[in-house]
Amino acid sequence: MGLLVQGSGYDKEARGGRRVEKGRVSGGIMNEKLKEFLTIDDFDLYGKTVLFRADINSVIIDGQVQMKERIVENAKTIQKLLDKKAKVVILAHQGRAGQADFLHLEQHAQLLRNFMDLKYIDDIMGSSARAAIKGLDRGEVLLLDNVRMLAEETLNKTAEEHSHSFFVRSLAPLADVYINDAFSVAHRSHASVVGFPAVLDAGIGRLMERELKTLERAVYQIKSPCVYILGGVKPEEVFDIIDVTLKRKRVDRILTTGALGTLFLYASGTIEPGEEQKADKHFMQNVEQAKRFLEMGKDIIKYPEDVAVAVDGERREIPVAQLKPNQPAYDIGEKTSEEYSERIKNARTVIMRGPAGLYEDKAFAKGTRNIFEAISHSDAYSLLGGGHTSAAISEVGIDRKSMSNAHVSLAGGAFLQYFVDKHLPGIEVLKKHQTNC
């Protein structure tokens, strides 16, 4: 411990007080908030071993990891650590156990090598991993394998409990500092997120700094009309935000797309569930929840009036009443796009999570592109979140520069949870840490 830079801006004597302002950030609520954390500037990292939690969880197409912003942005912070001559050990995950995107991190290593020389080992805390960590030289970086391959990683435990895990007990003694740059996973109380900062000096990386700053500003900038555009493939991931925004009356319109939009078509009785769906308990619970939301915000929640389906592999647009039970809708239709675009253009705040359809397939990218175009033509302050949302922007051919009023967060679930309740476990543990320093 005790690696804080002399005169770095953090006055150890003034502990219990504030970190001394360095001019790096100045004024404003969000900068006040950032003072609760140590950043990589606050540590003397020369020759020190840094456990660096990155989120390089990526879009996978046909088993191939795609080179997207998460890898590019994390590479920048890693380079900063290497410039400081740290020995960097990257902890990261890909996908969830049992799902098709659950992979070793070999391909991620290959992609990161576009930016730096990097070692990779398909081990996390075994003897090979520990030997590789001990063998690191100053200015070298090692990527360990997918931390979610350890059963301990994803147990929903407190920081204190995780700090006693075999994982943390195996790696923490080999490290001097823990840096978390993975805002997008800060809503998970997982071992690699909360366990290490409980026992090591800890701080936030550059990407985390940027995300916190922007989200903090956004929370205070929500102005009416405020429009949420919620889509993606996992409806239950946005239930909390719908619930809270409706209850707190902090939303004027919720425009639903993707699987969430289809769910509301069932909840509103526009489509009757088929036998297969009725037998799916999880699906029916989601429909019931969506019905409750419609009772709470009948005029606020909008769902598609037309959708695009696949007929012989081609896009065909149909009114939603013609959608058969269990027939997948791959995109919103033209009429829905027009209505949603109009609302976006008239909004003062737009918050978007999840693409409108299967944007990876050109035939079904239109709805997502129309929404991005509406955002770029709107004067609203816009906040777009989620790995897929961010990836979709370039994928559907939108120039980021045209979205000058929009901040794109690389986080999905964490981004929404921050709006619901700013207490994300992975962030809280970094704050508490400072007072213990």
Which lies closer to ligand 3PG via its Cβ, residue 233 or residue 296? 233
Number of H helices, E strands in the chain: 16, 17
Q: How far is the CB of 102 from ligand 3PG (least distance, A)?
A: 10
Residue given tokens 């996390």 in the structure block: 124
- Taking the complex as a whole, the smallest distance from the CB of residue 60 to ligand 3PG amounts, in Å, to 11
- Is beta strand 253-256 parallel, antiparallel or unpaired with respect to 226-230? parallel
Stretch that binds ligand 3PG, among 181-189, 280-288, 306-314, 375-383 (CB under 6 A): 181-189
Q: Report the nearest approach of ligand 3PG to the CB of residue 56 (Å).
A: 9
Q: How many amino acids of this chain bind ligand 3PG (CB under 6 A)?
A: 9
Cβ distance 306 to 320 under 8 Å?
yes
Residue type at position 408: V
- C-beta of 185 vs 265, nearer to ligand 3PG: 185
H or E element, residue 172: none
Rg over alpha carbons for the chain, rounded to the nearest Å, is 23
Site for ligand 3PG (CB under 6 A): which residue of 78, 185, 251, 424?
Answer: 185
Nearest residue to ligand 3PG, by Cβ distance, number only: 57
* Window of 134-142, 180-188, 376-384, 389-397 that interacts with ligand 3PG by CB under 6 A: 180-188
Selected from 261, 333, 412, 426, the binder of ligand 3PG by CB under 6 A is 412
Report d(CA 332, CA 340) in Å as an integer: 10
Q: Does 57 bind ligand 3PG (CB under 6 A)?
A: yes
Q: Which is nearer to ligand 3PG, 86 or 90 (CB)?
A: 90
Contact 375, 252 (CB under 8 A): no
Tokens of 70: 């998460």
Residue 188 interacts with ligand 3PG (CB under 6 A): yes or no: yes
Check residue 189 for interaction with ligand 3PG (CB under 6 A).
no
Euclidean distance between CA atoms 51 and 54, whole angstroms: 10
Query: C-beta of 414: minimal distance to ligand 3PG in Å?
Result: 7
Q: Is 413 in the site for ligand 3PG (CB under 6 A)?
A: yes
Min. distance of Cβ 412 from ligand 3PG in angstroms? 4
Residues 233, 75, 436, 31: is their CA dihedral positive or negative? Answer: negative
Q: Which amino acid is at 128?
A: S
The verdict on 184 binding ligand 3PG (CB under 6 A) reads yes
Query: Nearest Cα to 140, choosing from 16, 13, 42, 52?
Result: 52
Binding mask 347-386 for ligand 3PG (x = CB under 6 A): ----------------------------------------
Q: Give me the phi and psi of 293, to 5 degrees please.
A: -65, -40
Kindly tell me which of 315 and 353 has the beta carbon lying closer to ligand 3PG: 353
Helical packing angle, 206-221 and 413-420, nearest 10°: 40
To the nearest whole angstrom, how small is the minimum distance from the Cβ of residue 307 to ligand 3PG? 26
**DSSP H or E stretch at residue 210:** helix 206-221
With CB under 6 A as the contact rule, which of the stretches 84-92, 183-191, 319-327, 337-345 interacts with ligand 3PG?
183-191
Nearest residue to 238 (alpha-carbon basis) of 269, 273, 264, 212: 264
Tokens describing residue 397: 């051919």
- Would you state the torsion angle of the CA atoms of residues 425, 427, 428, 433, taken in this order, to the nearest 10 degrees? 120
DSSP state of 4: B
DSSP annotation of 192 reads I
Give the separation between CA 331 and CA 315, rounded to whole angstroms. Answer: 9
Closest CB to ligand 3PG among residues 197, 413: 413
Q: Which is nearer to ligand 3PG, 184 or 434 (CB)?
A: 184
Our finding on whether 96 is near ligand 3PG (CB under 6 A) is yes
Q: Is 108 in the site for ligand 3PG (CB under 6 A)?
A: no
Nearest to 318 by CA among 265, 374, 371: 265
Binder among 39, 49, 52, 55 for ligand 3PG (CB under 6 A): 55
Q: Looking at residues 232 to 271 of the shown chain, list those that interact with ligand 3PG (rule: CB under 6 A).
A: none
Torsion on CA atoms 19, 22, 26, 30, rounded to nearest 10 = -40
Q: Is 42 in the site for ligand 3PG (CB under 6 A)?
A: no
Give the DSSP H/E element, type plus range, for residue 372. helix 366-377
Q: Which stretch binds ligand 3PG (CB under 6 A): 132-140, 182-190, 243-251, 256-264?
A: 182-190
The minimum distance between CB 424 and ligand 3PG, in angstroms, equals 12
* 196 or 266: CB nearest ligand 3PG: 196
Cβ atoms 437, 200 nearer than 8 A: no
Using CB under 6 A as the binding rule, whether residue 278 contacts ligand 3PG is answered as: no
**Least distance from C-beta 168 to ligand 3PG, angstroms?**
19
Interface with ligand 3PG (CB under 6 A): 55, 57, 96, 184-185, 188, 387, 412-413
